[in-house]
Copies of this chain bind each other. A is one copy, B any other.
Amino acid sequence: MEIEYCTQCRWLLRAAWTAQELLTTFGLRLGEVALVPGTGGVFEIRLDDETIWSRKASGFPDLAELKRLVRDRIAPELSLGHSDNR
């Protein structure tokens, strides 16, 4: 999957944190998480070329919600522990 972030907005740290959260949760189930530098206020998360989160549409993602979106697509049997209970 890919996280495209706006370099002008200095969202690299936020993007890298999001990537680490996803890789910590899903590990080898994810082929990769790519950090993609962009411009113009972009913060978009794509999985197999489908945009599953866009800041312009929905603000920044809640991590628990984002993990559920990813889980439902790549590992529907996986329990997310407390992230499932919000």
* Chain A residues at the B interface, C-beta cutoff of 8 Å: 2, 7, 12-13, 16, 19-20, 23-24, 27-28, 30-39
Contacts and interface: CB of A to CB of B under 8 A. Distances in A.
A25 to B, nearest CB: 11
Contact of A37 (B28, B36, B38): B28
Given A12-B23, A16-B19, A28-B38, 17 more contacts: A2-B32, A7-B27, A12-B24, A13-B20, A16-B23, A28-B37, A28-B39, A30-B37, A31-B36, A32-B34, A32-B35, A32-B36, A33-B34, A33-B35, A34-B34, A34-B35, A35-B35
Contacts of A2: 32
Contacts of A24: 12
